[in-house]
Structure 1
């Protein structure tokens, strides 16, 4: 499950036709259905002072002392200091979950030695959005989001949200249109099922998935869903060329200059809107694609990006049902029928979650379909999630109750506990 950089090493300027062809060619690659990669983000919490964000040097010092993780996950940090474990492609969901669990245990132990913990939830419930990662990319992103009218949502997305990402192979070319369309159609239902972000800056926000609310408030030319036609690769090329350029990098100095305003990448190619005194190269195109964040992103494989991070046992169950509903043919057919009536209901899913009758009915059908397709090793987690969904509840409901009883700091600390550590 790899994606080759587009035109790496080529410094010549692009034509519009070349750019479109490059994007479409690399959008989806044939791959064996069943392979899975998982990426899990967590908020880093100072258990003695949960109101403060952990300083960047502290985060870096912990990671520098870590050996190579046993499951081979890669460790990175998001702009607000959220830590991300990115597992390598695994032959099946059971292997992927087991490896990420192992690496998460090692990571938690290293952070615990410094008095820190990892909170798995879709949005920071307590601390105000604040960037701690000094990378020039993130500073430029903040400035660009402000320039296009979504400063608050941009900073919140970058610094206060956390997700579970499930990466699946594109499968055989003849099935790409249906597969990509189903990945999008499942989105609202799985947003509602995974909802674990009902709090922000110390209060209830009135949304089941505050993380998805933030994404909905962002520039939809960069973060909105694809339309789901018969030619997803061609649609991705059109989407990418119409999306505004976020920043221009200088390969020599390493600088990243924000583009303040909406300049479609196509206009930079044609010269209608010159940037940095030059036309873009294939390296600029490759980087531009990394700044686009639709809920399903084609990168040779499919990145499923719309799930809230959630504590155990929920994130393994969510990863398992996502892969089952897309990779198992019978489960996929049942899920497609169950979700047709609520396709596109992203805002309803984020706001009401499973309190919406249509989403609740679709979610129950999807969990029932997934139960027949998930591997035995993950069936207990999926059964627990199915019981939760039957009640019309989602992982964030328990955190909201904790916050109402003991405050947002209590909810944040509760999300750091593993099942073994929970009282």
Structure 2
């Protein structure tokens, strides 16, 4: 999602992007100021720009048990028609394909934009024998990286050295999300807005749970996608917390372990657990001082559930099937961007505001989360835009019954097998 960044988000005057940070008077303060200044961009109240990103698992419909090869996928993407709403099309390490819309005013318009591009993508893929399944995890196929980009090679080496190779590989190659990007809003309201979104997070995790299986196995977690994220370094995946969201993000970033360093087109893993602050202090296994460009790249290796990128990037929702994601996107945006709905949701979420792990593991089987979720989706129904009312109401019925889209996946897999469930969604 692209938004205009104010002049305040520029590199501090004391340095340029490629100057070593140690040339500034106080390197740590310069780095902290840079991250804080670029964290959020003020936007008018009620501006309501929304961007949506949907990841999908590519499936060869003639040989669904095997992931399509990297060369084939690249050729397919190169041959895709332009998306009518302007979405970009990108590829993830396991060959997942991602549609990312430009920002559109209002959630109804954003959903319509993504649906239009999703239809074009679906039809173009079917012509070449491929389907695409929007599910939180690949329920059937082995966890395997097919994207040879050196960034992902280095990430895998970092995760292996840090003792979370399996979770890291699963996260990169076998998970998919519905990501929602929202304006930061007026500067004076950043603290309240980000706090409310963070408090809503566990409810969003619970109602979006759509990953009960991974590579043919069940762990018991309702969101095995979130289980994978919880299995890697929490210094880069835990929620960002603090009274001042920009400063909290700066502290989080400088205290997070280094994952990768780029030099001359080469990406190298960092495997010791040294933080960016350590690098600034000369205590990291890198043979040169860091620059602003290194700090910016470091930010791309941090994956909290709500990430500041000028706008607010909500990363905590599982991808869900096409019949459900428009409602899930609508529920999320309404509960954040509609002032009356946001006030009501804040009260409903208060008892479960810290229940991130419980939401991923137990989902709506946890009674406090179920109570909060019922309240939240009912609020969303009452405040929904007319274009999405019926769909949000249907999702509210699902939640009221203690169910999520993941229950449908689990039942289909039990009735046949996980691969059949994957193929059914890829053809849907």
TM-score by length of 2: 0.94
CA deviation digits over 1:91-123, x for unaligned, max 9?
111111111111111111121112110001000
Q: CA deviation at 1:3?
A: 6.3
Report what 1:280 is aligned to: 290
Cα distance in 2 for partners of 1:403, 1:412 equals 8
Q: 1:126 aligns with which of 140, 143, 157?
A: 140
Report what 1:295 is aligned to: 305
Q: CA deviation at 1:313?
A: 2.2
Q: Is the 8 A contact 1:6 1:23 kept in 2?
A: no
Report what 1:153 is aligned to: 167
CA deviation digits over 1:43-66, x for unaligned, max 9?
001112211111001111011112
Cα distance in 1 for partners of 2:111, 2:120 equals 14
Secondary structure, in 3 states, of the residue corresponding to 1:124?
coil
Report what 2:32 is aligned to: 20
Q: Does the alignment pair 1:415 with 2:425?
A: yes
Taking structure 1 as reference, are residues 320 and 2 closer, same or farther at Cα in structure 2, changes over 3 Å only? same
Q: Does the alignment pair 1:219 with 2:270?
A: no
Cα distance in 2 for partners of 1:149, 1:187 equals 27
Q: Does the alignment pair 1:203 with 2:202?
A: no
Taking structure 1 as reference, are residues 379 and 395 closer, same or farther at Cα in structure 2, changes over 3 Å only? same
Q: Is the 8 A contact 2:141 2:419 kept in 1?
A: no
Cα distance in 1 for partners of 2:40, 2:248 equals 12
Q: Does the alignment pair 1:193 with 2:207?
A: yes
Q: Is the 8 A contact 2:138 2:422 kept in 1?
A: yes
Cα distance in 2 for partners of 1:374, 1:281 equals 46
Q: 1:318 aligns with which of 328, 331, 336?
A: 328
Report what 2:269 is aligned to: 258
Secondary structure, in 3 states, of the residue corresponding to 2:358?
helix
Cα distance in 2 for partners of 1:168, 1:302 equals 5
Q: CA deviation at 1:272?
A: 2.2
Secondary structure, in 3 states, of the residue corresponding to 1:166?
strand
Q: Does the alignment pair 1:31 with 2:48?
A: no
Taking structure 1 as reference, are residues 279 and 6 closer, same or farther at Cα in structure 2, changes over 3 Å only? farther
Cα distance in 1 for partners of 2:80, 2:284 equals 46
Cα distance in 2 for partners of 1:10, 1:184 equals 31
Secondary structure, in 3 states, of the residue corresponding to 2:55?
strand
Q: Does the alignment pair 1:167 with 2:167?
A: no
Cα distance in 1 for partners of 2:362, 2:295 equals 38
Q: CA deviation at 1:68?
A: 2.0
Q: Is the 8 A contact 2:258 2:270 kept in 1?
A: yes
Q: Does the alignment pair 1:233 with 2:240?
A: no
CA deviation digits over 1:164-183, x for unaligned, max 9?
00000000111111111111
Q: What is the number of equivalent residue pairs in this alignment?
A: 414
Q: Which runs of 5+ in 2 are unaligned?
A: 22-26
Cα distance in 2 for partners of 1:337, 1:383 equals 21
CA deviation digits over 1:248-296, x for unaligned, max 9?
101x3x1101111201001111212251x11111111111101100000
Q: CA deviation at 1:414?
A: 2.0
Cα distance in 1 for partners of 2:230, 2:34 equals 29
Q: CA RMSD for the aligned pairs? A: 1.3
Q: Is the 8 A contact 1:6 1:282 kept in 2?
A: no
Q: Does the alignment pair 1:339 with 2:352?
A: no
Q: Which runs of 5+ in 1 are unaligned?
A: 419-423
Taking structure 1 as reference, are residues 415 and 374 closer, same or farther at Cα in structure 2, changes over 3 Å only? same
Q: 2:18 aligns with which of 6, 11, 19?
A: 11
Report what 1:267 is aligned to: 278
Q: Does the alignment pair 1:382 with 2:392?
A: yes
Q: Does the alignment pair 1:71 with 2:85?
A: yes
Report what 1:421 is aligned to: none
Cα distance in 1 for partners of 2:417, 2:218 equals 10
Report what 1:2 is aligned to: 3
Q: 2:337 aligns with which of 311, 323, 327?
A: 327
Report what 1:247 is aligned to: 260
